[in-house]
Amino acid sequence: MDVSIINPLLTAFTEVLPQLGFQSVERRKVSKIEAAFQYNGILLNISLFGTVKGAILFGMDIEAAKKFASKMMMGMPVAELDAMARSAISEMGNMVCANTCTQFTKIGITDLDISPPTLMISENGEATLPVPKSIVVNFLIDDIELSAYVSLMNK
């Protein structure tokens, strides 16, 4: 998978997150990964379908996810990753992916659509992405670490 395929996602992050109350969106590391990887905490899956297809996933550990949800809810304390917090994070994923599709439109890929988000929570989980070679981007959003897995292929 060509690394430039992540550009729409990067733009989406910098456009959408400030609107959800975050001050700084810093891109840390970009690396290629094999299909299978370990995760600890939450993993949010959103499928994409069109000229390119696959999925975009967002991973955070539980503490990061609580902080993230709290920021989205105007600083309301989040002690447990409850239904409201999970819903907030899912909406974030939905919006970033919707905006990613819009960014794809600007490079001529106009037919993408997304599925509703599915959220996994696990202490020692393993995931297998829909595409053999995917790209993971590590973000620091305010002081919260978030990984975005871009797993897309041409139709």
Partner 1 sequence: MSAIKVMVVDDSLFSRTLIVEILRDSGLEVVGEADSYDSLIETYERCRPDVVTMDIVMPDMDGFECSRALFVKDPNAKIILVSSMKDEESEVEARRIGISGYIQKPVDSDYLVQMINNVMAPDIHYDHLLAYGLETFKESLTQNIARMTKSPVSFASYENFGDHYLSQGITAVIGLIGRHSGSMILDMSMETAERIVEMLLKRAHRNREEVLSMVAELANIIAGVACSMLNKSDKTYSLSVSPPSLFYGTGTEIMSPNLKMDAVTAGTNFGNIFLGVGFKKGSSIWM
**Residue 58 and residue 93 in contact, taking contact as beta carbons nearer than 8 Å:** yes
For residue 142, which of 21, 23, 59, 29 has the smallest C-alpha distance?
23
Stretch that binds partner 1, among 24-32, 50-58, 60-68, 135-143 (CB under 8 A): 50-58
Contact 136, 149 (CB under 8 A): yes
Contact indicator for 60, 68 with CB cutoff of 8 Å: yes
- Smallest distance from the beta carbon of 10 to partner 1, in angstroms? 17
Write the binding mask 96 to 135 for partner 1: x where contact by CB under 8 A, - elsewhere.
-xxx-xx--xx---x--xxxxxxxxxxxxxxxxxxx----
Q: Which of 127, 134, 135 is nearest to 30 (CA)?
A: 135
Interface with partner 1, residue 10, by CB under 8 A: no
Distance, in Å, from the CA atom of 106 to the CA atom of 112, rounded to the nearest integer, reads 12
Q: Which is nearer to partner 1, 24 or 132 (CB)?
A: 132
Q: Which of 13, 47, 66, 136 binds partner 1 (CB under 8 A)?
A: 47
Based on CB atoms, which residue is closest to partner 1, 97 or 148? 97
3-state SS class at 152: strand
CB 48 within 8 A of CB 109: no
Of 28 and 154, which CB lies nearer to partner 1 in the complex structure? 154
| Contacts to partner 1 from residues 51-90, by CB under 8 A | 53-55, 57, 72-73, 83, 86-90
Considering only 1, 6, 10, 48, the residue that binds partner 1 (CB under 8 A) is 48
